[in-house]
Chain A
Amino acid sequence: MTLKNPKQLSAGVWDVVIAGGGNAALCAAIEAAEKGAKVLILEGAPKVYRGGNSRHTRNFRCMHHGDLGPLIETYDEEEFWQDLLRVTKGETDEDLARHAIRTSEECLPWMQEHGVRFQPSLAGTLSLDRTNAFFLGGGKALVNAYYITAEDLGVTVAYEAQVRHVEIVDRRATHMDVELGGEMHRVQGRAFVLASGGFQSDLDWLARAWGPSAKNFLIRGTRYNMGVVLKDMVDQGAETVGDPTQCHAVAIDGRAPKFDGGIVTRLDCVPFSIVVNKDGQRFYDEGEDVWPKRYAIWGRLVAAQPDQVSYSIIDKRSIDLFMPSVYPPISADTIEGLAQQLGLPGNALAQTVDEFNAACRPGDFHPQKLDGVTTEGLEPPKTNWARSISEPPFYAYSLRPGVTFTYLGLKVDKSARATGPEGLYDNIWSAGEMMAGSILGQGYLAGFGMTIGTVFGRIAGQEAAKHVA
């Protein structure tokens, strides 16, 4: 049930207190409540924005042997592991990673039993129907289903309840200081689960970690992932994993909202375009690979350009080659006219386009595969889909880095228990984005954040309940 009176927070001793209200927190709450524990969820966001970044997710990557739910064929541990190894370039903990992969298979039916519904993979994502199970209605529908299940199990949920501090005495957490309605409350518990995400919404922290240019980044997810609990734990000497300076950023439409733009701000036109910075200069091979394999590196590429902005430019022939963008393109009948609308130096842009066009060679242009249609004598080259930009109208979309998550997290063991300066804590577990850096130290694998959150959220809830039983 939703907490009615804030005084209830400090009225007694809770069995399991959970910081956070996204997928991992909810999985932990449900597991603990099913084992009879008296559970409190402290969600920092108001009810309409509950669920952290989970509300923006769309699928769950899952190992399986044979058809399972919406998933077809087989996706075994080794293939899953190799996929992970490739994106992380080894920045992972094999033991924990394999544990997450193996446990994912039993999670899918568990999710269904607890209200989550799946649907066939979405139009335009057919390549994922073997590896990723899509949520009917997306991540917010999953979050809603879990809140309903948790509330039916008697879990208490406090919204706009910001955990400010975890009090730890001799490896043991005793209470949390929680801010709600302008007042601080002392919330006592016997076991604590920390599942309140990374720090990517704290732009000052991001700027300290990454550099001042991070102020120009857009945050794709919730504005409530301020990393308050993470910082409190780090300050108390909790062991961490993941590069504290790094975040996962992808290139998204530059006109996207500062926060919470989510999936609709993605832009799929880059491979069919040339991308220039605000000086009208190209800076990277736009046709290096298919877009699903390249959008992540473009986040960093754009972040390295002046003012952290770039422009993707196509002509009439390419406007229908990609998923519709939510923002209409800027269009003009001449390159100079386009430059004027974009505020770019017209001569420089015209020269860049001319040089690119002159370097294009006749070839068999094929949008659906690496077609090998490449430029000659151009630096940087465009190694696929290098078709001239010559048929008006011309179109442009702006690009900015969109941050998905940060890598810094708490170090946990296979039982999701967090580690302090003197070894494992007695009664503190962590799950979800807050500890995902252990497994996903670099790069990203679609739907794997939800796998980590579900697997370790459930484990944290089970272990916490066992601890208080």
Chain B
Amino acid sequence: MSLDVTLQTDPGLISSDPIEEARRQIEICNACRYCEGFCSVFPAITREKVFADGDITQLANLCHNCRGCYYACQYTAPHEFDLNLPQALAAARTDSWERFAWPGGLARIFQARGEALAAALVVGTALMFAAIAALPGDGAGFYAWISHGAMVAIFLPAFLLPLFAIGIGLRRYWSEVGGVRVAWADLRDASLSAGRMKNLDGGQGQGCNFEKEERFSDARRHVHHAVMYGFLLCFASTSSGTVMHYVFDMQAPYGFWSLPKLLGVPGGILLTVGCAGMLMLRRRADPALGTPGRSSGERGFIWLLGFAGFSGLVLYAVGGTWLTGPVLALHLGGVLAFFLLTPYSKMAHGFYRFAALVRDAQDQRVRADV
């Protein structure tokens, strides 16, 4: 067997191309290997000797930006090797989402620019105000403001179209990283890792180096948990409402002790608190270790997600008053913008990250079988 060493780069040749630059840095990491115990990225690196473009994309998406490797690295600037692996992988990762997004071009705008997300929120809200004005309902609760039929007509496509777009992006991802048929064990391993944010725990539970430089902290893992589980609870709340409506013919509004509320209220609180915490941590973190040029879009996404959660809580609080209408428009406008932008905003990271974890589990399993 021979090795394709033409893939190797000169360690001193810093590149402006995200994949080339990530490859240069990964090769230096593979010759060092001191960081092996921090996360899944380094063991995956040591399984290769040279790195094709698909390998770089996979490693970039496996990285959770915990930054442990950066603070432990003896080759960071001003060393001539100028290693900044968290940044290099973040750049390659974002680049991959923007390449895979369908239709192309949309992702670059929303990944990069917070204003674009804000504009989407305004448009979404305006649409909802218009819908409420044009299509008032005659039901109880929200349905007094907008008919159930109108809600479904708007949100069913707003939910399915982005999912379809994400599906196309994931297919492109899977093909680039050389993924094979997924086994249940791969999904289980990936879920266990994502569910605990294993790759933010520093390898030994000490946490990551996101906001306190070389000191370890679990803050980011905890706020990410709040956002992720908050979001999943909110999603479960909506799903339970749908099931109750269509399967059990139980119409909204639901009381506090109903499933949608029992899931949605804690979900909204977690989402709001988590997004606020994430924004606070980002203020303390060194931006030079994140994705170059994507900070505005990333912050904008957290604001949008937090807004959707918070406005949902407010909506519940103002229930029955005249404020319900305007707050409903704001909340649904936020949710609409969030859904439609899922394939093109930072939200896409959840899907690609999970795919990378599945691929990593698969790669380990396949090699162990050989």
Task: Please give the residue numbers on chain A whose beta carbons come within 8 Å of chain B beta carbons, in ascending order.
Answer: 48, 55-56, 58, 117, 119-120, 122-124, 134-141, 144, 147-148, 257, 260, 262-264, 266, 316-317, 319-320, 323-329, 331, 395
- Do A257 and B74 form a contact, CB below 8 Å, given A138-B32, A326-B11? no
- The SS class assigned to the B binding surface is loop
| List of B residues within 8 angstroms of A120 by Cβ | 37
| List of B residues within 8 angstroms of A140 by Cβ | 71-74
Shortest Cβ distance from residue A140 to the other chain B in the assembled complex, whole angstroms: 5
Pick from B42-50, B92-100, B242-250, B322-330 the stretch touching chain A. Answer: B42-50
CA distance A377 to B31 in the complex (A): 37
CA distance A320 to B8 in the complex (A): 13
Interchain residue pairs A-B with the least CB separation, the first 5: A138-B34, A137-B72, A119-B37, A328-B8, A141-B72
CA distance A331 to B28 in the complex (A): 20
Of B33, B34, B206, the contact of A124 (CB 8 Å cutoff): B33
Q: A138-B74, A140-B73 are in contact. List 12 more A-B contacts (CB 8 A).
A: A48-B76, A55-B74, A122-B33, A122-B36, A123-B33, A138-B32, A260-B74, A260-B79, A319-B2, A320-B2, A324-B50, A325-B31
CA distance A316 to B73 in the complex (A): 33
Interface size on B, as a range, is: 35 or more
Of B71, B74, B204, B215, the contact of A117 (CB 8 Å cutoff): B204
Shortest Cβ distance from residue A86 to the other chain B in the assembled complex, whole angstroms: 27
B129 close to A (CB within 8 Å): no
- Do A137 and B30 form a contact, CB below 8 Å, given A326-B11, A327-B11? no
CA distance A430 to B127 in the complex (A): 75
Q: 5 pairs across A/B with beta carbons < 8 Å?
A: A120-B37, A141-B72, A324-B8, A325-B31, A326-B28
User: Is the Cβ of A324 less than 8 Å from the Cβ of B49?
Assistant: yes
| List of B residues within 8 angstroms of A329 by Cβ | 5, 8
Of A122, A266, A319, the contact of B34 (CB 8 Å cutoff): A122
B141 close to A (CB within 8 Å): no
Of B8, B75, B78, B206, the contact of A262 (CB 8 Å cutoff): B75
B1 close to A (CB within 8 Å): yes
Of B1, B50, B74, B77, the contact of A139 (CB 8 Å cutoff): B74
Shortest Cβ distance from residue B44 to the other chain A in the assembled complex, whole angstroms: 11
Contact with A along B14-52 (1 / 0, CB 8 A): 000000000000011011111111100001001001100
| List of A residues within 8 angstroms of B31 by Cβ | 263-264, 266, 323-326
User: Is the Cβ of A56 less than 8 Å from the Cβ of B74?
Assistant: yes
B370 close to A (CB within 8 Å): no
User: Is the Cβ of B35 less than 8 Å from the Cβ of A138?
Assistant: yes
CA distance A123 to B33 in the complex (A): 8
| List of B residues within 8 angstroms of A136 by Cβ | 37-38, 72, 203-204
User: Is the Cβ of A144 less than 8 Å from the Cβ of B11?
Assistant: no
CA distance A320 to B79 in the complex (A): 29
Residue of chain A at shortest CB distance from B213: A144
Shortest Cβ distance from residue A143 to the other chain B in the assembled complex, whole angstroms: 9
Shortest Cβ distance from residue A251 to the other chain B in the assembled complex, whole angstroms: 15
| List of A residues within 8 angstroms of B78 by Cβ | 48
User: Is the Cβ of A264 less than 8 Å from the Cβ of B73?
Assistant: no
User: Is the Cβ of B203 less than 8 Å from the Cβ of A119?
Assistant: yes
CA distance A262 to B28 in the complex (A): 11
Residue of chain A at shortest CB distance from B3: A320
User: Is the Cβ of B71 less than 8 Å from the Cβ of A119?
Assistant: no
User: Is the Cβ of A262 less than 8 Å from the Cβ of B74?
Assistant: yes
CA distance A325 to B49 in the complex (A): 9
B10 close to A (CB within 8 Å): yes
Residue of chain B at shortest CB distance from A328: B8
User: Is the Cβ of B34 less than 8 Å from the Cβ of A137?
Assistant: yes
In residues 61-93 of chain B, which contact A (Cβ within 8 Å)? 68-69, 71-81
- Do A319 and B203 form a contact, CB below 8 Å, given A137-B68, A260-B79? no
Shortest Cβ distance from residue B26 to the other chain A in the assembled complex, whole angstroms: 10
Shortest Cβ distance from residue A397 to the other chain B in the assembled complex, whole angstroms: 11
Shortest Cβ distance from residue A326 to the other chain B in the assembled complex, whole angstroms: 4
- Do A264 and B11 form a contact, CB below 8 Å, given A136-B203, A140-B72? yes
Residue of B9, B71, B74 most packed against chain A (CB within 10 A)? B74
Residue of chain A at shortest CB distance from B78: A48
- Do A319 and B5 form a contact, CB below 8 Å, given A264-B11, A264-B28, A264-B32? yes
Of A56, A123, A263, A331, the contact of B46 (CB 8 Å cutoff): A123
